[in-house]
Amino acid sequence: MPGGKQAAVLPAPEGSGLFHTDCPARQVLDHITSRWGIWVLLALRDGELRFFELRERIDGISEKMLSQTLRTLVRDGLVWREVEPSTPPKVTYGLNEVGRGTSDRLVEMFDWIKANAEVICAERGGPDAN
């Protein structure tokens, strides 16, 4: 796997827990569950993709947001990036081991959501519906 570099895991500050703002897991969770982070991780589950393939697969994402999301996920060590020197450069992305583990758990969550989506959406008609 190209770019198999693992991101450094910083220890949590003394006395912090999951709900504390200084918890490293909280920042990683914010990146994974960002508006586009989930979709990028799920799109890369089936294998490596070039930038334009990701953009086409993820309906509604702009080039700017895809670029920012990929930069964050690469920095976090969830996604690898490989640049093939050519004109124009060919940039390919894929999941590394940590990213694959993350996307496996996301698939479990999405399977549950798909199985329960009708019930959840039916609840929208309740007294607090917008």
Query: Which structural domain, as residue segments, surrounds residue 45?
Result: 24-125
**Residue 106 maps to a domain:** yes
**Residue 2 maps to a domain:** no
**Residue 39 maps to a domain:** yes
**Residue 85 maps to a domain:** yes
Report the chain's mean pLDDT, rounded to a whole number.
86
**Residue 61 maps to a domain:** yes
DSSP state of 68: H
Confidence of residue 24 (pLDDT cuts 50, 70, 90): confident
* Domain total of the chain: 1
What CA–CA distance (Å, rounded) separates 28 from 35? 14
**Residue 19 maps to a domain:** no
What CA–CA distance (Å, rounded) separates 130 from 126? 9
Q: Is the pLDDT of residue 20 over 90?
A: no
pLDDT 10s digits, 41-85: 999 999 999 999 999 999 999 999 999 999 999 999 999 999 999
Q: CATH code at 99?
A: 1.10.10.10
What CA–CA distance (Å, rounded) separates 80 from 1? 8
Q: In DSSP terms, which residues pair with 91 in a beta bridge?
A: 83
Confidence of residue 15 (pLDDT cuts 50, 70, 90): low
